[in-house]
């Protein structure tokens, strides 16, 4: 299911004047939408870090795992 599929199944809640006031989606669709948004966010994060990663470990300021593994 894509994000667009989720948007096809939304239901609009109307206020007393008949104006659209809210949107209702199923739990299944809500979870699918959240998953999609998390994937988009991950892609943005990777794109932001690509230039740093291309510099290599020393130039990017990366830490050796052996030096920090006890902190994790």
How far lies 47's CA from each of 35, 56, 69, 71, in Å? 19, 16, 26, 27
Which residues of the chain register pLDDT less than 50?
Answer: none
In this prediction the pTM is 0.57
Two structure tokens written together for 19: 């104006």
pLDDT of residue 3: 62
Two structure tokens written together for 62: 């990366």
pLDDT digits (tens, 9 = 90+) for 14-31: 999 999 999 999 998 889
pLDDT of residue 1: 59
Residue 5 CA to residue 50 CA, distance in Å, equals 31
């Amino acid at each position: 299911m894509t994000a667009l599929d989720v948007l096809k199944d939304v239901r609009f809640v109307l206020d007393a004047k008949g104006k659209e006031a809210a949107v209702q989606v199923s739990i299944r669709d809500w979870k699918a939408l959240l998953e999609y948004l998390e994937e988009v966010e991950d892609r943005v994060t990777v794109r932001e870090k690509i230039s740093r990663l291309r510099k290599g470990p020393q130039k990017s300021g990366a830490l050796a795992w052996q030096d920090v593994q006890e902190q994790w």
